[in-house]
Amino acid sequence: MKQVRIFILAAFACALAATAAFAHAFLDHAAPAVGSTVKGSPSELELSFTQNIVPAFSGAEIASAEGGAIPAGKASVDSGSPNVMHVRIGRALKAGVYLVSWHVVSIDTHRTSGTYKFTVAP
C-alpha cells in the first residue's frame, strides 16, 4: 500500500514536471523608450532584456521612416548588467520616426528578435 502511495504521489508530481526548459530573451524596456518621442538626437540605444545576452551575436539596426539605414555601432554589454545592450548611433538623428530592429542571443543560445519605433521631435 505504501508503494502504491509512492507511485500515485510520483505520478502527480510528474504532472508538474518539466525539463530545464530553455528561456529566451525578450525586450523588457528601451531608451529611447518604445513608441516614445524624444527631444534631441540620442547618442545610443539602450535595450534591456529579460535574460542575459551574448553581445557577440546580438545587435540592432536603425532605419529612418523612409527606409534609409542609419550607421550603428557593434553591440556591447556592461559586465555589471549583462541583460542590457548598448548600441551607439553613428550620427545625429534628424526629426522624424525611426525603426529599431534588434536581435539578441540569450546565454542559453536562443535567438530572439523584434522591432519598435521611436520619434525624434523637431
Partner 1 sequence: MEGMDHASGTEMITIFRVLVLARWIHFSSVFVLFGSAFFWFYQDNGLPRARCATAKLLCIAAPIAAFTGLGWLAGILANMTGGFSNVVNLETLRLFFFETQFGAVAFLRLMLLGAAVLVALMPWRNKAWFSAHLHIGALLLINQAWLGHAAEGGAGLLGVLMIVAYCIHVIAAGAWVGGLPPLLFVLDELRGLRHDQTPERTHQVLSRYSVMAIAAVALIAVSGIANAEFHVRGSPDALLHTDYGVVLFTKAILVIAMLALAFFNRYVAMPKLRAVAKERDGQTAKLRASVAMELVLGILVLCAAALLGVTPPPQ
What residue ranges bind partner 1 (CB under 8 A)? Answer: 3-4, 6-7, 9-11, 13-24, 26, 50-52, 54, 56-57, 59, 74, 103, 105-112
State which residue, 20 or 122, has the beta carbon closest to partner 1.
Answer: 20
> In this structure, are residues 99 and 63 in contact, taking their beta carbons and an 8 Å threshold?
yes
User: Can you give the C-alpha Rg of the chain in angstroms?
Assistant: 21
State which residue, 33 or 107, has the beta carbon closest to partner 1.
Answer: 107
Least distance to partner 1, CB of residue 67, Å: 16
State which residue, 41 or 52, has the beta carbon closest to partner 1.
Answer: 52
> Closest Cα partner for 83 from 50, 46, 41?
50
In three-state secondary structure terms, 2 is helix
